[in-house]
Amino acid sequence: MTLIDNLEWRYATKKFDASKKVSAQNIELLKRAIQLAPSSYGLQLYTVLIIEDSAIKEQLKAVSYGQSQITDASHLFVFCNYSKVTNDHIDAYFSLKSEIEQVDISNFKEYADFIKSDVTSRTLVEKNRWTSNQVYIALGNLLNACSELKIDACPMEGFDAEAYNKILDLDKFGLNAAVVAPVGYRSDEDSSQNTHKVRKPIESLFIEYK
């Protein structure tokens, strides 16, 4: 499997080569990979910001414990979950589903009502946990696509989410910064690329019921 070879190649890049940029064509491929990620009920209750602007990245670096990946990487992907989920989000999904599948939207009413009932039964904390969990599935697609394209990436939770929300004015959109991933190309000076992967042995990672 070339996928396994690519996953062996990738690592959480600590130092990027700031002079190297990811092409617009490859950014489109990464966006497509994220778009195709599965999500609960298919609702995709998140938005992904792609930041190339140096000034904005400098502001974000200051609230990311000064980590250089934020500014040195070619692009910064900021995965944001919806801080509130409403019936409007669900209606928008079924409107799109009706359009794409060319099926009258009334055919989805029972299923839509079921989802609305499920979502509204959750507390605000539960909704936020649910939607923030969804972005990690999309993040996984990004990391796999990066490895396929030999683009380096570094998933990061080490940042002040509230500060990100303020800098990027995310509250206005009902969004919350959940996880970020700088992408670009590793620096020759990044010693992390020469270390061995530390992973649990297959035997202790899995329990099989046969």
From the list 92, 161, 81, the residue with the least C-alpha distance to 128 is: 81
Report the mean per-residue pLDDT for the chain.
Answer: 97
- Asked whether residue 29 is assigned to any structural domain, the reply reads yes
Q: Give me the pLDDT at residue 1, please.
A: 73
Q: Give me the pLDDT at residue 151, please.
A: 98
* 3-state SS class at 74: coil
Share of the chain above pLDDT 90, in %: 99
Cβ neighbours of residue 24 closer than 8 Å, sequence gap 6 or more: none
Which residues form the domain of 59?
A: 2-92+122-205
Q: Give me the pLDDT at residue 9, please.
A: 96
pLDDT in tens, 142-164: 999 999 999 999 999 999 999 99
User: Are the C-beta atoms of 68 and 61 separated by less than 8 Å?
Assistant: yes
Question: Which tokens go with 46?
Answer: 């998140």
- Asked whether residue 48 is assigned to any structural domain, the reply reads yes
Does the model's pTM come out above 0.85? yes
pLDDT in tens, 112-121: 999 999 999 9
- Asked whether residue 143 is assigned to any structural domain, the reply reads yes
Helices (H), the chain: 2-9, 24-35, 54-62, 69-72, 87-101, 109-120, 124-148, 161-167, 202-205
- Asked whether residue 85 is assigned to any structural domain, the reply reads yes
User: Are the C-beta atoms of 184 and 152 separated by less than 8 Å?
Assistant: yes
pLDDT in tens, 1-47: 799 999 999 999 999 999 999 999 999 999 999 999 999 999 999 99
- Asked whether residue 196 is assigned to any structural domain, the reply reads yes
- Asked whether residue 153 is assigned to any structural domain, the reply reads yes
CATH of the domain at 36: 3.40.109.10
One-letter amino acid identity for 24?
Answer: A
Q: Give me the pLDDT at residue 182, please.
A: 98
- Asked whether residue 81 is assigned to any structural domain, the reply reads yes
One-letter amino acid identity for 152?
Answer: D
Looking at the structure of the chain, the number of domains it has is: 1
pLDDT in tens, 55-66: 999 999 999 999
Question: Which tokens go with 187?
Answer: 């620096």
Q: Any idea what DSSP says for residue 134?
A: H
- What is the Cα–Cα distance from 12 to 181, expressed in whole angstroms? 10
Q: Indicate if the pLDDT at residue 79 is higher than 90.
A: yes
- Asked whether residue 110 is assigned to any structural domain, the reply reads no
